[in-house]
Amino acid sequence: MATICVIGAGYVGMSLSVLLALKNEVRVLEINPQRVELINNRQSPIQDKEINAYLKEKELNLKAYADPAVALKDAQVVIIATPTNYDPKLNSFDVSSVDASIENTLKYAKDAQIVVKSTLPVGFTESTSQKYGITNLHFSPEFLREGLALYDNLYPSRIIIGTHNQEFGKFFLNLLKEPCLKEEVETLIMAPTEAESVKLFSNTYLALRVSFFNELDSYALKKGLDPKSIIQGVCLDPRIGNFYNNPSFGYGGYCLPKDTKQLLANFDNVPNSIIAAIVDANRVRKDFIADDILNRHPKKVGVYRLIMKSGSDNFRDSSIQGIMKRIKAKGIEVVVFEPLLKDDLFFNSKVERDFTKFKEECDVIIANRMVEELNEVKDKVYTRDLFHNV
């Protein structure tokens, strides 16, 4: 059993904390006191069915703290899972939370092995190790779906660690594998910079795939063709496969928008056309969707849910917000139905909490994904959801 401190109680940090607390002592370091209280009362601060269930039903050696001196004391392994948002002014991720976490660890647990799970610019681990003169900093990319983060840790597609320390690499891989419910798990140990690259290229490929099927959908709409049958025919090729092929308003969420931009920034002075096109394709798709909605000459547009997908509480960079902003820029009134919003306005648009009123007052309702409660006003709904899945 190891003593582990996980810094950050987002979906990455919480899923890892719950997973590892099945077999180890885990302390969560979280600056938000409300999240600390929720975790210590065995309630999840994020929406994730498995995390909620495990907190309530499993025997977990897990406690949350707001004080780094207490949380980090005698920790053998420190896992950093703090947010790294893309900063357009820096043309890079804002890694200040990771830097602060490393400094706290060196202050309170200098002998601990540090594993960064936050997504990083390529080269961060090596440059930071040189900056502090340390050899105990490693990087392990996460491949988790929002709302299914613990499930994806219990049944991982693969586990990768970027390290120059083979012994610790094997130890950490086993730490994550031991509580898994999947019998055979692919694992890889590689250099940190290569592991950082794997994360960014993986997410950028997924964004490429989303963009490809969105552009197929745009083509079909413009030419008066049936996009669903085209997609079905294309995806019968086993080399292409039937996944990540449901059209949407664009890719969004925690990872894809920021990771594609970071990878493009890392391509500075490297010839490319595809990576730049993936970033631009999302803007083009949103422009196309907004124009298609405006061609219906709506007087009042309803936005059904700001979240990225069902079971999520994440609004960040959701594609529907991009559509909303484009429609508002043309002077069209927009009303938002989002039960998770507490304010009465969202970017100066009215938030309507009464679903019946919302349906009645809007002549067009845009929804990134179709749901059953919209069926009775299906004639008003604008969506590109062809297969009714994520």
Catalytic residue numbers, as ranges:
255
DSSP-based helix, strand, coil % in the chain, nearest 5: 45, 15, 40
Provide the terminal-to-terminal Cα distance of the chain, rounded to the nearest Å. Answer: 38
Is 128 strand, coil or helix? helix
* Residue type present at position 128: T
Instruction: Tell me how many helices (H) and strands (E) the chain has.
Output: 14, 16
For residues 306-336, one letter each, b for 16 or more C-beta atoms within 10 angstroms of the residue's C-beta and e for the rest, the string is bbbbeebebbbbbbbbbbbebbbeeebebbb
Give the CA-trace dihedral at 336, 342, 345, 347, to 10 degrees. -80
Using CB atoms within 10 A of its CB, is residue 78 exposed (0-12), middle (13-18) or buried (19+)?
Answer: buried
Of the candidates 150, 152, 148, 162, the one whose C-alpha atom is nearest the C-alpha of residue 119 is 162
